[in-house]
Structure 1
Amino acid sequence: MLKGKKAIALIQARASSTRLPMKQFRYIGHKRVIDWIVDRLLSIEEFDKIIISTSYKKTDSIFVNYADEKGIDVFRYKGDINDVVGRHYYAAKKYDADYITVISGDCPLIDKQFIKKQLYKISQGYEYIRPAGKEWFHEGVDTYSWGCFEFLNNEIKSKYTRENFGINLRKNPDLAKIGLVDIKDVFSKKLCRISVDNMADLRFMNALYRELDEKDKKFNLLNVVELLKDKPGLLNINNHVEQKQKDDKTYRFVIKTEASQKIGLGHIKRMMVLGKYLNENKNNGVFYLINNDLLAKDILEKEGYIYDYKIASSQEELIKEVNFYNADILIIDVQNLENMKYHFEKIKKNTSLKKIILVDKYIESDNVGLFIMQGIQSDKILNNVKNNEKVISGLKTVFVSQKLKKIEESKEKLKNKIVISFGGTDIYNVTTTVLKVLKEIKIDKDYKFSIILGPYFNHHKKLNKELELFPYDYEIINSPQSIISIIKEAKLGIVYYGVTFYEFKYLGIPTIDVIPGKEYCDEFNKLEMLGLGHSVGVHNNINKNSFNKYINNIDNLKSPNYSIGDLEYVYSKMISEIEGD
């Protein structure tokens, strides 16, 4: 009780968030997001009840078991899932509350003392409590009187304001008697986002947790402020995320992709780059459908996508999952499209999809709305699609990691570093083949070779044998957490089509390009003509003389100087002609 009045905490939560489903149950350090919130609230003795306020949607039944586990309550609203003020009003009414503190279920850094200040301020006869000043770091907490809640529920009519009801009082302060809470100077400036709305926010929170844990400090708001003063670079993890605005249109994307030892990682990795952009930069929902392969699942889960994918090998499974996710746009990037036996007319007819998009594949179909032919394509392919308005191609269609944009202007190449990188699997063991060629070449200058081996490289025995008499300085880098941090320092890259191929070129680093197969010779010749690489033949027939010429003439090799990877352009084409966009 608070001065004889009943005070409750309502945790606003739904498991069906479009941008980050099940976000409350994702981990920050050793605890889930919702654990951080509930455990902090349990330490505030002024609250008579702590209640998770959620919907009656099937996916939100998970909160019932969680509430039992934590010894708190749960209220499930049977009305409109987006009627948030109605949901909280009936929850407060059920518990006969005098004061109601609403806590966002995605704000793990709520501050105990700040909440107590709000509670004691509301007990002085105010109706709504907010921090003093125009800006503050704390997020996700507002306190109301019962009378104010009743007024809001009765008076707010529009769909947007019933979902975002707090904005009504902030924009119309005369509607209620507002009490202002003084906040500590250290919290008086908004440093960054501290809610968890997408994967970038979750990565940021985990980075904060790890840094504080290493210093044996608690994961709380004050320590986060101090940490960010010492390490402002951490802000780069999610500073590209923009808060969703009232009129922003959002879509649900399903991405069908794949990975395996045979196929490699290129498909799934580049689609994850696109998925991150769609989700983190554009506030869309993204869900992955993958082939039934442990490697594909492992890649997604290592990046934190534990609730964001399902297996869909057949067309029937694909249709089922597209409908389950209620997707607007389906993107397909698979190697052997012809073997998938997709009938796009049937897919459109049996789903509510507004658009189907194919990546690096072209077929004659009125049911496919866009074809994205990434990078430099062969003349044979382009001749078939030259006059098709639904096709986009070229360097700006490449899905390049957004992390590269942060280092593009400040790249520092080391004078003697050559990076060898052939992807996560290196199916053909090109790494070993290249080392054999290098052993037969006399290199005039001293270079250090950084040999990157992906997590699924399976040719260690042959590689180690080749390294026994390797005459040059080298280092083996196994499964690096950040390939970008390695390649950005390179003077030269030795690569072929794969995860890092266009990243080297994006950063303006000259490359010696090995061609993965004869069918790609046309593309690689065109790349060389554009000054985007220096080809040395197919992987099983490398031209030693060309290799020798390029590696002994690095300072005079052409550095790529093209605009690569314009995801804003790609996105505009993806959503064009959808509901008037």
Structure 2
Amino acid sequence: MSNNRNIVIIIQARMSSSRLPGKVLMPLLDKSLLARMIERLQQIKYAARLVIATSVTDDDDLIEQEAKSLQIDCFRGDLNNLLDRHYQAAKLFNADVVLKIPSDCPLIDPKAVDRVLDVFFENDGRYDFVSNLHPATWPDGNDVEVMTMACLERVWLKAAKPMELEHTTPYIWENPDQFAIANVAWETGKDYSMSHRFTIDYLEDYLFISRVYQELYPVDPAFSCEDIVALLEAKPEICHINQQFTGVNWYRHHLDELKTVNANQTKQLLKQKI
């Protein structure tokens, strides 16, 4: 089934984050945030090629250098058209199956990736696209989207709205009549997508992630999502570090355009950082 399929995981990364510039190269213990995320993705049970997809702008030379130091393939493409960047990277590395994972998920649970891939391959040929995001139930920062190369190519040919180009996959889940789509819920039966934030956009997120790594990594470098939740239950003060940003995501800017996302799946930013 999957063993003769070329699985390519594309990690989109850039230095020019508007809210926290250079966040992907900020230190987590003795390595960069991006290196720690790669480390976690290398723990999945599937054989997959990892590709860091960055832009052609000069400041992203640093991303390419980091990729080389990590011995991870790097593709450089359009800064703002992420759909084209993903498509060209997938094409270059002859992908049959493409995973889109953003670089702001350094706490991603490898088992989350495995479970989405399990559903994709256990239903071999049935789905064009499988994710754990529509709707999301895992804590924010466990974002996994899997698609066939044919699906990605179809989107690349058809998508035209700026939002679709910037976020790569909205055209798929906004047009369920055109694609066979499946969603994987967190097996706990809980929905922590709006209450727990394991992703990074703000300084408080970085402080939260750093604390989690300091607490859990020395005990078990392969710590799980459940380990993080247990830590937060034992030490709720850690949860408070970035609590003001829980539920804040990019959907909030496009509620007037999105048909398959509602206002309950995002929050407005109440306290804007200067």
Task: Determine helix, strand or coil for the equivalent of 1:17.
Answer: coil
Q: Which amino acid in 2 is paired with 1:97? A: A
Higher relative contact order (Cα pairs below 8 Å, separated by 6+ residues) = 2
Written as runs of structure 1 = structure 2, the 5 A alignment for 1:305-320 is: none
Equivalence for 1:128: 129
**TM-score, normalization by structure 2:** 0.82
Is 2:129–2:180's contact at 8 Å kept on the other side of the alignment?
A: yes
2:162 maps to 1:159: yes
Change (3 A) 1:183 1:74: same
Tell me how far 1:73 sits from its aligned partner.
0.2
Is 2:137–2:185's contact at 8 Å kept on the other side of the alignment?
A: no
Is 1:196–1:202's contact at 8 Å kept on the other side of the alignment?
A: yes
Equivalence for 2:13: 13
Change (3 A) 1:235 1:170: farther
Q: Which amino acid in 2 is paired with 1:68? A: K
**TM-score, normalization by structure 1:** 0.40
Distance in 2 between the 1:154 and 1:85 partners? 10
Tell me how far 1:115 sits from its aligned partner.
1.0
Q: Which amino acid in 2 is paired with 1:10? A: I
Task: Determine helix, strand or coil for the equivalent of 1:238.
Answer: helix
Task: Determine helix, strand or coil for the equivalent of 1:69.
Answer: helix
Task: Pick from 185, 208, 228 the counterpart of residue 204 of structure 1.
Answer: 208
Change (3 A) 1:87 1:65: same
Tell me how far 1:36 sits from its aligned partner.
1.5
Equivalence for 2:108: 110
Is 2:13–2:53's contact at 8 Å kept on the other side of the alignment?
A: yes
Task: Determine helix, strand or coil for the equivalent of 1:144.
Answer: strand
Written as runs of structure 1 = structure 2, the 5 A alignment for 1:538-557 is: none
Distance in 1 between the 2:85 and 2:216 partners? 37
Equivalence for 1:243: 249
Q: Which amino acid in 2 is paired with 1:17? A: S
Larger radius of gyration between Structure 1 and Structure 2: 1
Task: Determine helix, strand or coil for the equivalent of 1:240.
Answer: helix
Tell me how far 1:72 sits from its aligned partner.
1.3
2:161 maps to 1:180: no
Q: Which amino acid in 1 is paired with 2:129? A: Y
Regions of 4+ moved over 6 Å? none
Number of matched pairs: 251
Structure 2, unmatched stretches of 5+, are 256-268
Q: Which amino acid in 2 is paired with 1:91? A: A
Distance in 2 between the 1:180 and 1:57 partners? 35
Tell me how far 1:120 sits from its aligned partner.
3.1
Task: Determine helix, strand or coil for the equivalent of 2:172.
Answer: helix
2:272 maps to 1:282: yes
Task: Determine helix, strand or coil for the equivalent of 1:174.
Answer: coil
Change (3 A) 1:3 1:209: closer
Distance in 1 between the 2:225 and 2:189 partners? 10
Change (3 A) 1:134 1:37: closer
Equivalence for 2:261: none
2:230 maps to 1:226: yes
Tell me how far 1:39 sits from its aligned partner.
1.0
Task: Determine helix, strand or coil for the equivalent of 2:40.
Answer: helix
Tell me how far 1:9 sits from its aligned partner.
0.7
Equivalence for 2:258: none
Task: Determine helix, strand or coil for the equivalent of 1:65.
Answer: helix
Is 1:99–1:122's contact at 8 Å kept on the other side of the alignment?
A: no
Distance in 2 between the 1:149 and 1:26 partners? 31
Written as runs of structure 1 = structure 2, the 5 A alignment for 1:49-128 is: 49-77=49-77, 79=78, 81-123=79-121, 124-125=124-125, 126-128=127-129
Q: Which amino acid in 2 is paired with 1:54? A: T
Is 2:138–2:185's contact at 8 Å kept on the other side of the alignment?
A: no
Segment of structure 1 superposing worse, 163-172 or 88-97: 163-172
Equivalence for 1:193: 197
Tell me how far 1:53 sits from its aligned partner.
0.6
Tell me how far 1:184 sits from its aligned partner.
2.2
Q: Which amino acid in 2 is paired with 1:127? A: D
Task: Determine helix, strand or coil for the equivalent of 1:46.
Answer: coil
Structure 1, unmatched stretches of 5+, are 249-278, 287-581
C-alpha deviations, 1:498-525, integer Å up to 9, x for none? Answer: xxxxxxxxxxxxxxxxxxxxxxxxxxxx
Change (3 A) 1:220 1:25: farther
Change (3 A) 1:120 1:183: same
Q: Which amino acid in 2 is paired with 1:185? A: T
